[in-house]
Amino acid sequence: MATELLNRRVVRVPDVIGRPLNKAHIVLEDAGLSRIVTLYRESYEDRDTVLEQRPARGQMVYEGTEVTIWIARRGYLENLPAIYRRSDAVGRNLVRDLCFVFEHMFDSVEVNLTDGWRFYDPHVAPQDFLDWLAGWTAFTLDLDWPDTEKRALIKRAVDLYRIRGTKRGLSLFLKLFTGHEPDIDENTWPFKGFRVEADGAEAGARVGLDSVILPPVDLAHCFVVTMPVKFETVTAETVIRIHQIIQMEKPAHTHYYLRFAEEQGDVELREFFAIGLRSGIGIGAEVVQSVEDEPPAPEGKS
């Protein structure tokens, strides 16, 4: 124990009398005195102003020594009739002491009520509260976004609602979530009913690969979203996220077709899936190109 005391650093107690409570904590912790006990004392000074400290300012103590500070509070006693505010001959008042006990117990609740506005301002709200605040406007946050970007978008969430369901809004949200600006073509659809693709009579049609059966669609309610990246370069989570964004931001009665940047070669439908054909949530498909069957170049040409 004696060895530990010798190894501890000796610090000078700073003067925090007259400072607000939060600044007094900062000054004491910077000096190496993190063990702080806060007590209340009835006073007409500004709320949470330090009235007294122990050890006194300038005293040399070991780092980590406990420091007690008394702060000004006009307690619950001032809300009671004058008869309860009277003290006895030696200055004691049982009612006042009981009020200070309750004030210590419910101080955190009072602070939250006083500073409750912070939870509704995106720029100063606690980090853990941002998701809940975004939920008020049905705005979805990406976990990978920087904190400053999250707060700025929540602040503009109501304004962004003005462009929800539009081509501009969908393009903006896809760019925010994926980092790539898509190409959106309206009033178009890549397929018409039953379609069979074959490279010749010998090849034949391949069900599920180049044969597609689609329900009748109204071109006025259709659009195609083309992402400027190759399908091989994106993850399955990214594809799912893109579909989720489109379904949230598009008009409910429309259908969409999702595709990625194409390579040179034969078109091959890798997979096809329909989502909510009757409910109108959306129709999605993914088309990529295959270069495996590309014919060899003529002799003398590269």
Summarised one tens digit per residue, pLDDT across range 10-29 is: 999 999 999 999 899 999 99
Interatomic CA distance for residues 160 and 154, integer angstroms? 9
Summarised one tens digit per residue, pLDDT across range 20-58 is: 998 999 999 999 998 999 888 878 888 889 999 999 999
Q: What is the 3-state secondary structure (H, E, C) of the chain?
A: CHHHHHHCCEEECCCCCCCEHHHHHHHHHHCCCCCEEEEEEECCCCCCEEEEEECCCCCEEECCCCEEEEEEECCHHHHCCHHHHCCCCCCCCHHHHHHHHHHHHCHHHHHHHHCHHHHHCCCCCCHHHHHHHHHCCCCCCCCCCCHHHHHHHHHCHHHHHHHCCCHHHHHHHHHHHHCCCCEEEECCCCCCCEEECCCCCCCCCCECCCEEECCCCCHHHEEEEEEEEEHHHCCHHHHHHHHHHHHHHCCCCCEEEEEEECCCCEEEEEEEEEECCCCCCEEEEEEEEECCCCCCCCCCCC
CATH of 2-114, one of 3.40.50.300, 3.20.20.20, 3.30.360.10, 3.30.10.20: 3.30.10.20
pLDDT at residue 201, as a whole number: 46
What lies within 8 Å, CB to CB, of 168 at 6+ separation is none
Residue 47 token pair: 């709320």
Model confidence at 275: pLDDT above 70: no
**Cβ distance 110 to 76 under 8 Å?**
no
Model confidence at 215: pLDDT above 70: no
Interatomic CA distance for residues 174 and 242, integer angstroms? 7
Pairing of strands 282-290, 222-230: unpaired
Is the sign of the CA dihedral 290, 291, 292, 296 positive or negative?
positive
**Cβ distance 33 to 76 under 8 Å?**
no
Domain limits of the chain? 2-114, 118-163, 164-290
pLDDT at residue 24, as a whole number: 93
Summarised one tens digit per residue, pLDDT across range 158-208 is: 888 888 888 988 998 888 778 888 999 999 888 766 555 544 445 565 666
